[in-house]
């Protein structure tokens, strides 16, 4: 029944048995400050002491509590990653590769998903709760309002395959517009006469830019305005149905450019199975992304390859820039795609021209 200062022996507390700086300090009979300094490579500490601490910490199986650290440093070491598009295998691959790179940077990936329709905004409240050091948005729709909130909340945002012209946000994109033009030019060069386009999600900027580039390209090389099947989704079904619609009309296309590879594969299947067409003799099909599947013998899809690794590199560079200098301005980078020529596109000029 002593009163004393009554701090010790609060052993009923949670604790969960993890080793803390205090434990190390006690074991070595130094102060917690010293332990902290040793762990954070503070130069103002004796080498011997540092070594002793580090050794002991290792022995005791110490692992820092990043919650506590983050609370004081105001840096969470968390990167928030938003994804919605999952039917396209391109993005899962980006998620995995990016996460690995972030891990190497000491950043932990917190993943947020949403269904395709509602975009990413609904996850915003979740985001703020952990105060991530950076937010990365993968080709998902994020309203400019949400973007603004992030910026206000001092969380730098990097958009991947999206950009917002006005807003103060970094972006790393494949140059979708040029990709679209490239396809138009190539098709013209191979003597195609009747271009068409099957859209993914109508208002996705990737889709908009690819189509715009394709249209402009067609005009520039003297091709007619492409027929456009508009807006379901970036899915196999969209391509399948789109292709059928395209050939239901009176004027048949001789080349179909698709919003992405998955759509293109759906389109090819429809052409072969439903329309009895042969590819590329009756119709050329071109995709976008160059996912692994595109090069499989069953598809052999000619497509615009997104420079995924280079894009990821850019994201990492941008993160470093944003996190190192306090007031670095957001920056937008556009990387060119490259046409991967395979057998789904007719190459020779035929009887044309």
Partner DNA sequence: ATGAAAGCGCTAACAA
Partner DNA sequence: TTGTTAGCGCTTTCAT
Distance of closest approach, residue 352 Cβ to its own copies, in angstroms: 29
Residues 6+ apart with CB under 8 A from 229: 196, 197, 198, 199, 242, 245, 246
Q: What is the 3-state secondary structure (H, E, C) of 279-297?
A: CCCCCEEEEEECCHHHHCC
Q: Judged by CB under 7 A, which of 1, 4, 14, 106 binds DNA?
A: 14
Written as six digits, the tokens of 175 are: 């140059």
Phi, psi values for residue 157, rounded to 5°: -115, 140
The percent of the chain in helix, strand and coil, each rounded to the nearest 5, is 40, 15, 40
- The one segment of 3-11, 208-216, 278-286, 344-352 that binds DNA by CB under 7 A: 3-11
- Spatial CA neighbour of 23 closest among 67, 70, 72, 56: 56
Q: How far is the CB of 120 from DNA (least distance, A)?
A: 23
Options 27, 54, 69, 269; binder of DNA; rule CB under 7 A? 69
Of its own copies, DNA, none, which one sits near residue 330, judging by CB under 5 to 8 A according to partner kind?
none
Among the candidate windows 33-41, 118-126, 178-186, 311-319, which touches its own copies by CB under 8 A?
118-126
The stretch near DNA (CB under 7 A) out of 4-12, 77-85, 92-100, 229-237 is 4-12
Site string for DNA, 33-52 (x = CB under 7 A): xxxxx-xx---xxx-xx---
Segment 79 to 108, residues that bind its own copies, using CB under 8 A: 81, 83, 86-87, 89, 92-93, 95-96, 99-100, 103, 108
Taking the complex as a whole, the smallest distance from the CB of residue 274 to its own copies amounts, in Å, to 8
Q: CA 1, CA 167: separation in Å to the nearest integer?
A: 64
Stretch of 60-68, 96-104, 169-177, 210-218 lying at the interface with DNA (CB under 7 A): 60-68
* Rounded distance between C-alpha atoms, residue 82 and residue 173, angstroms: 16
Which residues, other chains included, contact 89 with Cβ-Cβ below 8 Å and sequence gap of 6+? Answer: 262, 291, 292, 293
Binding mask 125-164 toward its own copies (x if CB under 8 A, else -) reads xx-xxxx---------------------xx----------
As measured in angstroms, the least distance from the Cβ of 146 to DNA is 21
Q: How far is CA 101 from the centre of its chain?
A: 13
The only residue of 59, 60, 71, 350 in contact with DNA, by rule CB under 7 A: 71
Single out the residue of 26, 55, 65, 296 in contact with DNA (rule: CB under 7 A).
Answer: 65
Of 148, 69, 144, nearest to 106 by C-alpha is: 69
Residue 353 vs residues 190, 191, 192, 251: alpha-carbon distances, Å: 10, 7, 10, 19
Cβ–Cβ under 8 Å, residues 192 and 217: no
53 — phi, psi (to 5°)? -65, -50
**Token digits for 207?**
């889709």
**Residue placing its CB nearer to DNA in the complex, 11 or 348:** 11
Comparing C-alpha atoms, which of 289, 228, 227, 230 is closest to residue 264? 289
Does position 21 bind DNA by CB under 7 A?
yes
Contact residues: DNA, CB under 7 A: 6-7, 10, 13-16, 18, 20-22, 29-37, 39-40, 44-46, 48-49, 62, 64-65, 68-69, 71-73
Contact residues: its own copies, CB under 8 A: 14-18, 63-68, 70-71, 73-74, 76, 81, 83, 86-87, 89, 92-93, 95-96, 99-100, 103, 108-115, 123, 125-126, 128-131, 153-154, 236, 240, 265-266, 268-270, 272-273, 292-293, 296-299
């Amino acid at each position: 029944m002593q009163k004393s200062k009554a701090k010790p022996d609060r052993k009923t507390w949670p604790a969960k048995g993890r080793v803390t700086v205090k434990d190390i300090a006690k074991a070595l009979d130094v102060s917690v400050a010293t332990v902290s300094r040793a762990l954070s490579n503070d130069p103002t500490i004796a080498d011997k002491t540092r070594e002793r601490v580090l050794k002991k910490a290792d022995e005791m199986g110490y692992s820092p509590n990043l919650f506590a650290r983050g609370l004081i440093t105001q840096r969470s070491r968390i990167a928030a990653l938003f994804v919605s598009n999952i039917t396209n295998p391109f993005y899962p691959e980006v998620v995995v590769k990016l996460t690995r790179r972030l891990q190497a940077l000491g950043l932990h990936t917190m993943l947020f998903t949403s269904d395709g329709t509602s975009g990413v905004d609904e996850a915003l409240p979740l985001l703020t709760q952990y105060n991530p050091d950076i937010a990365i948005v993968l080709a998902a729709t994020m309203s400019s309002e949400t973007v603004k909130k992030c910026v206000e909340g001092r969380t730098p945002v990097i958009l991947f395959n999206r950009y917002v012209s006005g807003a103060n946000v970094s972006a790393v994109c494949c140059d979708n517009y040029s990709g679209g033009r490239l396809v138009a030019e190539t098709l013209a060069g191979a003597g195609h006469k009747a271009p068409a386009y099957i859209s993914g999600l109508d208002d996705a900027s990737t889709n908009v830019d690819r189509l715009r580039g394709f249209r402009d390209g067609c005009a520039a090389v003297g091709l007619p305005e492409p027929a456009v099947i508009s807006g379901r989704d970036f899915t196999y079904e969209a391509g399948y149905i789109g292709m059928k619609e395209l050939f239901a009309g009176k004027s048949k296309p001789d080349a179909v450019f698709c919003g992405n590879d998955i759509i293109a594969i759906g389109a090819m299947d429809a052409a072969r199975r439903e329309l009895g067409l042969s590819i590329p003799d009756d119709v050329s099909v071109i995709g976008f992304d160059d996912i692994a599947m595109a090069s499989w013998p069953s598809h052999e899809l000619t497509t615009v390859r997104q420079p995924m690794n280079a894009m990821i590199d850019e994201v990492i560079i941008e993160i470093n820039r944003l996190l190192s200098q306090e007031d670095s301005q957001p920056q937008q980078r556009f990387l060119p795609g490259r046409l991967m020529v395979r057998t789904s596109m007719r190459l020779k000029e035929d009887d044309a021209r």
